[in-house]
Amino acid sequence: MAHDHSHKGHSHAHHHIGPEAGDARVIWAIAVNMFLTLAQVVGGIFSGSLALIADALHNFSDAIALVIAFFARKIARRPADPRMSFGYGRAEVVAALVNYTTLIVLSVYLFYEGVMRFFEPEPVNGWMVVWIAALALIVDLITAALTYTMAKDSMNIRAAFLHNVADALGSVAVIVAGTAVILFNWTWVDPAVTIMISVYILWHVKSEIGETIRVLMMAAPPDLDPEEVASAIEDVQGVSGVHHVHLWSMQEREPALTAHLVVNAAAWADAEGVRDSVRQSLRDRFGISHATLELEQADRACVEPSRFGHTEGKA
């Protein structure tokens, strides 16, 4: 399936952005981050500040995160084909996982650097560091503004956006640390703030990465209760039971369901109508527009079936 931003059956009050406009925003975000990386490397060399060069690495990772996000968006819009019958929408989910993983690696590296600096403090040349970090903060805020609206609807862009928020915090840390060195000669502020930021990034990733893994692991969407969905199917007139229910996300915010539908003997003559009613109920109540339902007559249904999933050895 082509990547669908309409979110059928959902009443989310998000402002949707057209694919081309979204792409343009991401390209601008990449451009400003590449420019900033160059400025910070040059500034770091001239001021002798390792903190600035480290911050440049973070901004470069921002740009790479956005490049990954950009190409994932492009791939996700491809139509389905025989080899990729579910479409390419999950490219964005895979990209999100890649970006979150690099964030974890960066955070651990930041933590390590921060601890090492307590033991080996390094001199910071204050003013140039503060000015370039201020420029970095402005660019980070511009990038965050470009991707903020899109981040609500895409875990892929949300991962890149989180890279940016982490980077903005890094820039604030460099400003605070530079100012502390200028005013009080407190070299310990730089590593202390660095460690705090690395912990903050890891905490944020922990709350976001779970949903990405759940989608890839075919888990039920967190906002849908599988038992509630199964019970709603059984509430439809003519349905005597449901089993082998699989509820998962095709991609972010696109729930899908397959199930075996047991139809009463009395309603079997209109089994197709019963199935249509179930489909309508799933669409209206839960926003599930992709449902595959196998019909079974009550007296010929699976023997001792599992309610959710398929159990080995059962019909």
User: Is residue 243 a contact partner of residue 306, using CB atoms and an 8 Å limit?
Assistant: yes
State the pLDDT at residue 124. 61
Residue 262 has pLDDT above 90, yes or no: yes
From CA 212, how far away is CA 8, in angstroms rounded? 20
The predicted-structure confidence for 143-194, as pLDDT tens digits, reads as follows: 888 778 777 777 778 877 877 787 787 788 778 877 887 888 777 777 777 7
CA distances from 13 to 139, 149, 200, 245 (A): 28, 12, 29, 30
Q: 237 Cβ partners below 8 Å, 6+ apart? A: 267, 274, 277
How many Cβ atoms from other residues are within 10 Å of residue 235's Cβ?
A: 11
Q: How confident is the model at residue 15 (pLDDT cuts 50, 70, 90)?
A: very low
Work out the burial of residue 120: count CB atoms within 10 Å of its CB; fewer than 13 is exposed, 13-18 middle, 19 or more buried. Answer: exposed
How far, rounded to the nearest angstrom, does the alpha carbon of residue 163 sit from its chain's CA centroid? 12
User: Is residue 306 a contact partner of residue 244, using CB atoms and an 8 Å limit?
Assistant: yes
Which of 38-52, 57-71, 117-131, 277-291 is the most confident on average? 277-291
- Structure-block tokens of residue 79: 């139509």
From CA 151, how far away is CA 16, in angstroms rounded? 11
Residue 4 has pLDDT above 50, yes or no: no
Q: How confident is the model at residue 268 (pLDDT cuts 50, 70, 90)?
A: very high
From CA 42, how far away is CA 53, in angstroms rounded? 8
From CA 119, how far away is CA 178, in angstroms rounded? 19
pTM: 0.71
Q: How confident is the model at residue 283 (pLDDT cuts 50, 70, 90)?
A: very high
From CA 309, how far away is CA 182, in angstroms rounded? 63
User: Is residue 242 a contact partner of residue 233, using CB atoms and an 8 Å limit?
Assistant: yes
Angle at 285 between CA 284 and CA 288, to 5 degrees: 75
CA distances from 240 to 140, 141, 207, 280 (A): 57, 56, 40, 17
Backbone angles phi, psi at 306, to 5 degrees: -80, 140
Mean pLDDT of the chain: 81
State the pLDDT at residue 7. 37
For the beta sheet containing 254-263, the strands, ordered from the edge strand earlier in sequence to the opposite edge, are: 239-251, 254-263, 290-297
Of the listed ranges 137-141, 255-259, 295-299, the least confidently predicted one is 137-141
Q: Write the single-letter amino acid at 188.
A: W
Terminal CA-CA length for the chain: 30
Work out the burial of residue 15: count CB atoms within 10 Å of its CB; fewer than 13 is exposed, 13-18 middle, 19 or more buried. Answer: exposed
What is the DSSP secondary structure assignment for residue 270, as one 8-state letter? G
Nearest to 118 by CA among 199, 187, 196: 187
Give the H or E element holding residue 250: strand 239-251
